[in-house]
């Protein structure tokens, strides 16, 4: 029996852009279980980023509920959502978004300072294999290295849910694979639930479950009985 970490119940999201209304999400329901890697696949405009925003507590649905265990995220105010992100969520972005004025280690420390019982920052850097480059600034590192620092920064808080938005989108194939292996390793070692949003279907081979989206709707949810090691994925 799998434990549900996040239960998304019939949510919709409508954006009003001037005189046009855009239905970014339409009646979406999805359960995310503990310890799984789930890949949300879809072309741009399919609503996957909107869904990730809502899961990550950065946006609220127009209707429907999102339960994190028993807590309904749609009932939380700004402060409550910030607390939720602080404690439960780790983010990895396509363009890394490291703080340019901080070194690798300091970027990790910045996140560690937010929670009560974080990993040691240097441990987190070790996990991503960058402890030797702790005093480097983002401008002194390659894209792959920056993304690994971003992952260290995300996991140092020991979040229960790691959200990755096109984590390999700005990287070449080899570097991208290294980043995905690192995510898998984290899932195994720290038992962190990982949600990866991407338009790259190859990545879905490493997932336990695959969610396919299109035009604001879930098209299919597929169990992957035999996840492939990221090193073997090609695209």
- The tokens 């996840």 sit on which residue? 227
Q: How far is the CB of 169 from another protein (least distance, A)?
A: 9
Question: Residue 170 or 224: which CB sits closer to another protein?
Answer: 170
Residue nearer to another protein on the CB measure, 109 or 216: 109
Residue 131's region, left for phi above 0, alpha for psi from -120 to 50, else beta, is alpha
> Long-range contacts for 218-225 (Cβ within 8 Å, ≥24 apart)?
218/28, 218/29, 218/30, 221/30
Asked if 160 and 192 count as a contact pair (C-beta separation under 8 A), the reply is yes
Binding positions for another protein, rule: CB under 8 A: 49, 52-53, 56, 58-59, 78-79, 82-83, 85-87, 89, 91, 93-95, 97-102, 106, 109-111, 113-115, 135, 137-139, 146, 153, 157, 165, 170
Q: Minimal distance in Å, beta carbon 58 to another protein?
A: 4
Quick one: 194 or 233, whose CB is closer to another protein? 194
CB of 225 to another protein, least distance (A): 32
Nearest to 27 by CA among 204, 223, 213: 213
Closest distance to another protein from the beta carbon of 118 (Å) = 12
Residue 3 has a CB neighbour count (10 Å cut-off) of 8
Decide if 126 contacts 198 (C-beta within 8 A). Answer: no
Nearer of residues 15 and 235 to another protein, judged by Cβ: 15
The nearest distance, CB 59 to another protein, in angstroms, is 6
Closer Cβ to another protein, 125 or 233, answer by number: 125
Q: Are 113 and 122 in contact (CB under 8 A)?
A: no
CB of 227 to another protein, least distance (A): 26
Nearer to another protein, 60 or 208 (CB): 60
Taking the CA atoms of residue 98, residue 102, residue 103 and residue 106 in that order, the dihedral angle to the nearest 10 degrees is: -90
């Amino acid at each position: 029996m799998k434990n549900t970490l996040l239960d998304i119940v019939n949510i919709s999201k409508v954006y009003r852009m001037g005189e046009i209304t855009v239905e970014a999400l339409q009646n979406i329901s999805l359960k995310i279980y503990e310890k799984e890697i789930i890949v949300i696949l879809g072309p741009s405009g399919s609503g996957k980023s909107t869904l990730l925003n809502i899961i990550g507590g950065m946006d609220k649905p127009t209707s429907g509920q999102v339960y994190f265990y028993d807590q309904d995220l749609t009932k939380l105010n700004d402060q409550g959502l910030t607390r939720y992100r602080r404690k439960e969520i780790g983010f990895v972005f396509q363009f890394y978004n490291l703080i340019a004025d901080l070194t690798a280690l300091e970027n990790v420390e910045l996140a560690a300072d937010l929670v009560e019982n974080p990993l040691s920052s240097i441990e987190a850097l070790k996990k991503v294999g960058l402890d030797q480059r702790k005093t480097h600034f983002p401008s002194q590192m390659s894209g792959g290295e920056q993304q690994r620092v971003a992952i260290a920064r995300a996991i140092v808080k020991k979040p229960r849910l790691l959200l990755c938005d096109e984590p390999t989108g700005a990287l070449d194939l080899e570097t991208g694979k290294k980043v995905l292996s690192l995510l898998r390793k984290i899932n195994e070692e720290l038992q962190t639930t990982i949600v990866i949003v991407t338009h790259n279907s190859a990545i879905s081979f490493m997932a336990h479950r695959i969610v396919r989206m299109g035009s604001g709707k879930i098209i299919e949810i597929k169990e992957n009985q035999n996840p492939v090691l990221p090193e073997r994925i090609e695209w």
